[in-house]
Amino acid sequence: MPNISRNEVEHLAKLARLAVTEDELDTFAVQLDQILDAVAKVGEVAEADIPPTSHAVPLTNVFREDVVRPGLSRQQALSGAPAAEDGRFRVPRILGEE
């Protein structure tokens, strides 16, 4: 017995505002029935003692460990700047600020 009927496929097509032919309705009914059967089989396999997973293969973090290192001093950072003022980078004004 099919899980989804041709009439249900037609109703779904109307709800989704899809223009489907009579042949497509028959084809989609068979295809959707196969999909629903496959989903039901997956549901049968999922047991309570099997933990849910987000990936089929376990993933490991490939990033390096964070290591605190000394950074540049303010003087060193500003030494390469074309312009500095009050211990900060000086840049051209781009907005009409007052």
Q: Which domain holds residue 31?
A: 6-45
Residue 58 falls within a domain, yes or no? no
Quick one: pLDDT at residue 46? 65
Residue 64 falls within a domain, yes or no? no
pLDDT tens digit string along 60-90? 877 888 899 999 999 999 998 999 999 999 9
Quick one: pLDDT at residue 83? 92
Quick one: pLDDT at residue 63? 85
Residue 85 falls within a domain, yes or no? no
Q: Please compute the mean of the pLDDT values over residues 37-43 and round it to a whole number.
A: 84
3-state secondary structure 23-75: HHHHHHHHHHHHHHHHHHHHHHHCCCCCCCCCCCCCCCCCCCCCCCCCCCCHH
pLDDT tens digit string along 14-37? 999 999 999 999 999 999 999 999
Confidence grade of residue 1 (pLDDT, cut at 50, 70, 90): low
Residue 25 falls within a domain, yes or no? yes
Q: How many domains does the chain have?
A: 1
